[in-house]
């Protein structure tokens, strides 16, 4: 007997028919004498619908009440799935965040799970029951409903797997697993059978939407076995495992991209100790996340040009913070929001020479100009014009033999 966490995303539970299909998947797992805890998302499109309601009421909707509103989507799914299982003759029960409770800390809309009461859950499992838990939410020490960010049902599933000491955590979605790039955009993308936590973490943080990056990070920290698989086919999914099993013979595992970046360049910044900290401190305090940073010092070593990227939604805020910052001196500021980040990821990059050359040569052959570069042991990212994104991804996918 194995204790399994089965997480079903929004597309998997997007209609009554799909919820009934999910119930049949759970019934099959339950019939194999497994203890099942299902973690569910809101039905696809429901969270956006609720968010629009809040925006129609107020452009500055109260954050506490927004969490109360958005968490209702998963409550609906939990009840419908429990009802579908009961209809199939399975003992099932839904548990809302405050009934367990699932304890969180942190800000509204960006909380994190720190613990949960497992007594009720384990007792129900011992009675041969199936437990349904809403993802994406919890309750604070003060008794307020909290949410843990978009895509947070993945994080819930992994946290529940850790706290309940589950044998496995399976992420059900609308694709067959993790692909070398977006299969909806690149038909030649292929499914990856096995991938390391590190590679998956890079891909998810760089724009691959199959799993939330914080969920991968938690799984990596606690060595929780993960598998991404399709709700709609019986094909084998993608297994995500620990560092020791990385395949170093493959230089590049996948190509990821995101189109929500913006680039800011400060020209002629007076070069002195602490200037970078003076620029980035106000951004940090105002929750503007800075990603790639490139600095070019002038030949006289008196000034520097500083380029960095932020999320496109934070561009206006970042510009205003820089303009109002009296601690820094610079000649000009340029910014561009129609940019994208394209990245190659692979555990074998660290031991394979020529990866950077192959990437840059491939982009040059397509006449794609590189605006910024960032590297790590298993990742190489570039900022390019947004219009070149798909062309760049296709080229790199071919260059590194991923087709």
| Per-residue pLDDT tens over the stretch 354-403 | 899 999 999 999 999 998 888 888 899 999 999 999 999 999 999 998 88
- Check residues 320 and 210 and name the one with the higher pLDDT: 320
Q: What is the pLDDT at residue 244?
A: 61
pLDDT at 47: 93
At residue 298, does pLDDT exceed 80? no
pLDDT given for residue 27 in this prediction: 98
Please indicate, yes or no, if residue 149 is contained in any of the structural domains. yes
Higher-pLDDT residue of 375, 24? 24
* Average pLDDT of span 198-217: 81
pLDDT at 172: 96
155 and 270: one domain? no
Q: What global pTM score does this model have?
A: 0.80
301 has a pLDDT exceeding 80: no
Look-up of token digits 């790590």: 376
Statement: residue 248 has pLDDT above 90? no
Q: Are residues 118 and 266 in the same domain?
A: no
Q: In which band, very low, low, confident or very high, does the pLDDT at 282 lie, cut at 50, 70 and 90?
A: very high
What was the pLDDT predicted at 387? Answer: 94
In a domain, 143, yes or no: yes
The confidence score (pLDDT) of residue 182 equals 86
3-state secondary structure of 286: coil
d(CA 281, CA 276): 8
- Asked if residue 210 belongs to a domain, the reply is no
Give CA–CA dist 131/122, Å, rounded.
Answer: 9
- Number of domains within the chain: 2
Secondary structure of 201-227 in the HEC alphabet?
HHHHHCCCCCCCHHHHHHHHHHCCCEE
- Please report, for the domain that includes residue 293, its CATH number: 3.30.2130.10
CA-to-CA dists, residue 149 to 41, 78, 184, 211, 397, angstroms: 12, 19, 24, 13, 31
Q: What percentage of the chain exceeds 70 in pLDDT?
A: 97
Domain that holds residue 104: 3-174
Of the two residues 98 and 300, the one the predictor is more confident about is: 98
- Please tell me whether residues 21 and 139 are part of one structural domain: yes
Query: Which candidate, 318, 291, 203, 184, places its Cα nearest to that of 255?
Result: 203
Angle between helices 197-205 and 213-222 (to 10 degrees): 160
Q: How many CB atoms lie within 10 A of CB 302?
A: 11
249 located within any domain: no
Of 157, 174, 191, the last residue of a domain is 174
Give every CB contact of residue 73 below 8 A, 6+ residues apart in sequence: 41, 42, 43, 46, 47, 50
Confidence of residue 14 (pLDDT cuts 50, 70, 90): very high
Both 24 and 165 in a single domain?
A: yes
DSSP 233: -
Average pLDDT over residues 104-129: 93
């Amino acid at each position: 007997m194995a204790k399994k966490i089965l997480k079903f995303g929004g597309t998997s539970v997007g209609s009554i028919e799909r919820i009934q299909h999910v119930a049949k998947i759970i019934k099959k797992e339950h019939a194999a004498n497994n203890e099942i805890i299902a973690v569910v998302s809101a039905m696809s499109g429901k969270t956006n619908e609720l968010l629009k309601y809040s925006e129609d009421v107020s452009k500055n909707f109260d954050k506490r009440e927004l969490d109360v509103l958005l968490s209702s989507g998963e409550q609906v799914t939990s009840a419908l799935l429990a009802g579908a299982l009961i209809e199939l003759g399975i003992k099932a029960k839904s548990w809302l965040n405050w009934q367990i409770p699932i304890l969180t800390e942190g800000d509204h809309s960006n909380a994190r799970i720190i613990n949960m009461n497992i007594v009720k859950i384990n007792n129900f499992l011992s009675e041969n029951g199936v437990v349904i838990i809403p993802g994406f939410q919890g309750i604070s020490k003060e008794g307020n409903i909290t949410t843990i960010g978009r895509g947070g049902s993945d994080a819930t599933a992994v946290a529940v797997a850790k706290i309940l000491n589950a044998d496995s955590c399976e992420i059900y979605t609308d694709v067959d697993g993790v692909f070398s790039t977006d299969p909806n955009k690149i038909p030649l993308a292929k499914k990856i059978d096995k991938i390391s936590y590190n590679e998956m973490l890079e891909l998810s943080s760089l724009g691959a939407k199959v799993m939330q990056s914080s969920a991968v990070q938690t799984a990596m920290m606690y060595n929780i076995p993960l598998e991404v698989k399709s709700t709609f086919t019986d094909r084998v999914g993608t297994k995500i495992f620990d560092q020791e099993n990385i395949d170093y013979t493959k230089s590049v595992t996948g190509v990821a991209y995101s189109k929500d970046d913006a680039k800011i360049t400060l020209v002629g910044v007076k070069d002195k100790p602490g200037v970078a900290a003076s620029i980035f401190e106000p951004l940090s305090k105002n929750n503007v996340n800075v990603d790639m940073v490139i600095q070019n010092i002038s030949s006289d070593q008196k000034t520097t040009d500083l380029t960095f990227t932020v999320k496109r939604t934070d561009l206006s805020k970042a510009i205003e913070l820089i303009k109002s910052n009296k601690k820094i001196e610079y000649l000009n500021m340029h910014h561009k929001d129609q940019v994208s980040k394209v990245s190659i990821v692979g555990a074998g990059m660290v031991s394979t020479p020529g990866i950077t050359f192959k990437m840059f040569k491939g982009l040059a052959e397509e006449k794609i100009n590189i605006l910024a570069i960032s590297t790590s042991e298993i990742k190489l990212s570039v900022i390019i014009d947004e219009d070149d994104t798909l062309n760049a991804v296709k080229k790199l996918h071919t260059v590194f033999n991923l087709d």
